[in-house]
Amino acid sequence: MDDREVLVTRIFLIKYPQSLLDTMGRDEILPTDSQIDLTESGRETAQKIGHALVSNFHGKFWIWSGSARRCVEPAQIIAEALGGKSQADHRLDERRISSAKGKITVGQFRQRQERGYLDPSRLADGELETPLAHRLRVESWLAEILGGAEDDEIHVIVSHGAVVEHLHSALCWKPTGAMESSFTFCAPGHAHVWSDVVLPDLRRIWCCLSANLDLSASGTLATPLRGIDDLSGLAVDLASDPRFENLVDAVSDDATAAQPTEKYYIR
C-alpha cells in the first residue's frame, strides 16, 4: 500500500438528546411522537454535537433521523451546524409497541420495551411489532445506505435507543437474541462511532472506534478518536445492571402490583 491517505467512511449512531418524554413520570399518559419535543437542554446538546462534528471531522456529511420530532429536531440542528439538511426515514422509527388509538402510560411503554428485550421474537398483547421485526426494518435501511456509501462520507444517524442498538449490533454481527442478556449502552446525546478500516491487504472491515461517547462534552474530540482498549466491558447484563432495576417489573407475573423504582432508565 502506498503512502497516500486512505479515505474511510464513518458512522455516528446518536441517541437523541433529552426530550420532554425523559422528564415525564411513569404514571403520565404517553404522548404521541408529534407531541414530544426536545427540552432546552436537549437543543443545547444538539448544537454542541453539531459544533464538535464540524470542528473535528472533514468529509461529506449525511444527516439521518427517525421521523419522530425528538429525532428530527436535533438532526436539523446538527445539519444546520454542518451547512446541510437532514433526512428522516420511517425505518429509523421506534418499535411499534402500541396502536395509535391505545392509550398507555409512560411506565407501561417502558415495561413493554424491556419485556421485548427478554423475548425478541414474541409479539406481546397490544404490540404491533416484535424486536426482531424492528431489527429487520432497521437493518434494511443500513444495508441500503452502506450499499451506496463512498469514501470520505460521514453518516450521522439521530434516533431512538433501540434503533441505535440495532444498528450497532448489526455492524458488529450481534444477533437480535443477544438482547436477552446484553446490549451496548448509549445515553441520550451520546454516540457509538464506527469507521471502516483498511487492512494491509486493502480489505475493509467495520470497527467500533468508541461507544457511548459524549460528543457535546468540551474537549471530547480534541484529539483524534482512538479505539477503546476493551469492548467486552460494554456488554450490559440487563438482569443486574442498576440502570435496569425496573426489569423486575417487566417480568413480574403481576406487573400492576410492582412498585416503580426511582432509578428508571429512559432508553
Q: Establish if 138 belongs to a structural domain.
A: yes
- Position 241 scores a pLDDT of 53
User: pLDDT (tens digit, 0 to 9) for every residue of the chain, 267 residues total?
Assistant: 344 444 568 899 999 999 999 999 999 999 988 889 999 999 999 999 999 999 888 889 999 999 999 999 999 999 999 999 999 999 999 999 876 556 889 988 888 888 888 888 888 877 899 999 999 999 999 999 988 877 788 999 999 999 999 999 999 888 888 776 767 888 999 999 998 877 777 777 888 888 899 988 855 554 444 433 333 344 445 555 555 555 445 444 444 433 433 332 222
Q: Establish if 30 belongs to a structural domain.
A: yes
Q: Establish if 191 belongs to a structural domain.
A: yes
Question: Residue 248: which CATH number?
Answer: 3.40.50.1240
Instruction: Dig out the grid coordinates for 218 from the structure.
Output: 468540551
Tell me which amino acid residue 170 is.
A
Query: Residue 69 and residue 100: Cα distance in Å, rounded?
Result: 16
Alpha carbon separation from 17 to 8, 102, 249 (Å, rounded): 27, 26, 26
Q: Establish if 262 belongs to a structural domain.
A: no
- Position 7 scores a pLDDT of 55
How far, rounded to the nearest angstrom, does the alpha carbon of residue 228 sit from its chain's CA centroid? 19
* Residues 94 and 153: beta-carbon distance below 8 Å: no
Residue closest to 168 by CA, chosen among 153, 185, 151, 181: 185
- 169 contact partners, CB below 8 Å, separation of at least 6: 135, 175, 176, 178, 179, 183, 184
Residue closest to 264 by CA, chosen among 247, 251, 253, 255: 247
Q: Establish if 2 belongs to a structural domain.
A: no
Q: Establish if 90 belongs to a structural domain.
A: yes
Domain residue limits at 64: 10-257
- Total domain count for the chain? 1
Q: Establish if 265 belongs to a structural domain.
A: no
Q: Establish if 102 belongs to a structural domain.
A: yes
- Position 227 scores a pLDDT of 38
HSE of 218 in the Cβ direction (CA atoms, 13 Å)? 0
pTM strictly above 0.85: no
